[in-house]
A and B are shown apart, each in its own frame.
Chain A
Amino acid sequence: MAVKKKQPSQWSWPNSCLLVVMVGMIFYCSWINNKIVTRGYRLNELRQAEKQLIEEQDKLEAELATLKSPRNLARLARRLGLKEPRPGQKMVLP
Chain B
Amino acid sequence: MKQRTKRESKDERRRLRQRIGLVAGVVVFSLVAVVARAYFLQVVKHNYYLARQQSQCNSSRLVRYKRGEILASDGKVLAASIKGESLYAEPRRVQDKRRLAKGLAPILKMKVSSLERGLRGERGFAWLKRSLTPGQVEALQPWCKKEPGLAFSKEARRIYPNRDLAGQVLGFTNIDCQGQEGLELYYDEYLQGRQLYVSMERDARRQVVESSQSAELDHLKGKTVYLTIDRRLQAWAEQELETAVTGSRGKGGVALVMDADNGAVLAMAQYPRFNPNSKRKNNPALWRNRAVTDLLEPGSTLKAFTLVAALESGIFKIDDLVDCEEGKFKVGNRTIHDTHEYGLLRLDEVLKYSSNIGCSKIAERIGAERFYAVLKNFGFGSHSGIDYPHEPSGRLRPWQKWREIDLCNHSFGQGVSMTSVQLVAAYAALANGGHRVTPHLVAKIINGAGWTVYEPPAKKSSRVCSSKVAQQVDRALALVVEDDGTAPQARIPGFRVMGKTGTAQKFDFAKKSYSHKNYRASFVGYVDPPKGQSRKIVYVMVDEPRSSIYGGLVAAPAFQRINRHLLSYLNYASQTELATLTIPDYEEEEAGCSVAENGSERVENFTGNATQAANVMPDFTGRTIRDALILIGSYRRSVKISGQGRIVSQKPQPGTTLEPGLDFVFHLSSESSEI
Contact between chains at A65 and B76 (CB < 8 Å): yes
Chain B residues near A51 (CB-CB < 8 A) = 215
Contact between chains at A70 and B77 (CB < 8 Å): no
Say yes or no: is B651 at the interface (Cβ < 8 Å to chain A). Answer: no
B63-88 to A contact mask, C-beta < 8 Å, 1/0: 00000000000001100111100000
Chain A residues near B211 (CB-CB < 8 A) = 44, 47
Say yes or no: is B575 at the interface (Cβ < 8 Å to chain A). Answer: yes
Contact between chains at A58 and B80 (CB < 8 Å): yes
Contact between chains at B80 and A62 (CB < 8 Å): yes
CB < 8 Å neighbour of A61 from B80, B163, B215? B80
Count B interface residues, CB 8 Å: 44
Among B121-129, B181-189, B201-209, B515-523, the one that faces the other chain is B201-209
| Most A-side CB within 10 Å, residue of B215, B567, B569 | B215
Chain A residues near B583 (CB-CB < 8 A) = 86
CB < 8 Å neighbour of A88 from B161, B164, B569, B582? B582
Contact between chains at B210 and A44 (CB < 8 Å): yes
Chain A residues near B82 (CB-CB < 8 A) = 55, 58-59, 62
Contact between chains at B581 and A88 (CB < 8 Å): yes
Count the A-B residue pairs with Cβ separation under 8 angstroms: how many?
91
Contact between chains at A41 and B161 (CB < 8 Å): no
Contact between chains at B77 and A54 (CB < 8 Å): no
Chain A residues near B164 (CB-CB < 8 A) = 71
Contact between chains at B165 and A70 (CB < 8 Å): yes
Closest to B164 in A: A71
A61 CB to nearest B CB, Å: 7
Majority secondary structure of chain B interface residues (helix, strand, loop or mixed): mixed
Contact between chains at B569 and A92 (CB < 8 Å): yes
Contact between chains at A90 and B568 (CB < 8 Å): yes
Closest to A85 in B: B568
Say yes or no: is A37 at the interface (Cβ < 8 Å to chain B). Answer: yes
Chain B residues near A63 (CB-CB < 8 A) = 161
A58 CA to B159 CA, complexed, in Å? 11
Known contacts A58-B80, A88-B568; decide if A43 and B210 are in contact (CB<8 Å): yes
Chain A residues near B210 (CB-CB < 8 A) = 40, 43-44
Say yes or no: is A14 at the interface (Cβ < 8 Å to chain B). Answer: no
Say yes or no: is A8 at the interface (Cβ < 8 Å to chain B). Answer: no
A74 CA to B240 CA, complexed, in Å? 13
A47 CB to nearest B CB, Å: 5
Say yes or no: is B564 at the interface (Cβ < 8 Å to chain A). Answer: yes
Count A interface residues, CB 8 Å: 28
| Contact residues of B between 198 and 228, Cβ < 8 Å to A | 201, 203, 207-211, 213-216
Closest to A47 in B: B215
| Most B-side CB within 10 Å, residue of A47, A54, A68, A71 | A71
Contact between chains at A71 and B165 (CB < 8 Å): yes
Say yes or no: is B232 at the interface (Cβ < 8 Å to chain A). Answer: yes
Contact between chains at B162 and A58 (CB < 8 Å): no
Chain B residues near A61 (CB-CB < 8 A) = 77, 80
B164 CB to nearest A CB, Å: 8
A59 CA to B66 CA, complexed, in Å? 13
Known contacts A44-B208, A58-B83; decide if A86 and B165 are in contact (CB<8 Å): no
| Contact residues of B between 565 and 583, Cβ < 8 Å to A | 565, 567-569, 571, 573, 575, 578-583
Give 14 A-B pairs besides A86-B582, A88-B582 with Cβ atoms closer than 8 angstroms: A40-B209, A44-B207, A44-B208, A44-B211, A50-B216, A55-B82, A58-B82, A61-B77, A65-B162, A66-B163, A71-B164, A88-B568, A88-B581, A92-B568
Closest 6 CB pairs of A and B: A65-B161, A87-B568, A70-B235, A88-B578, A87-B581, A69-B162
Interface residues of B (CB under 8 A from A): 76-77, 80-83, 159, 161-165, 201, 203, 207-211, 213-216, 231-232, 234-235, 238-239, 564-565, 567-569, 571, 573, 575, 578-583, 638
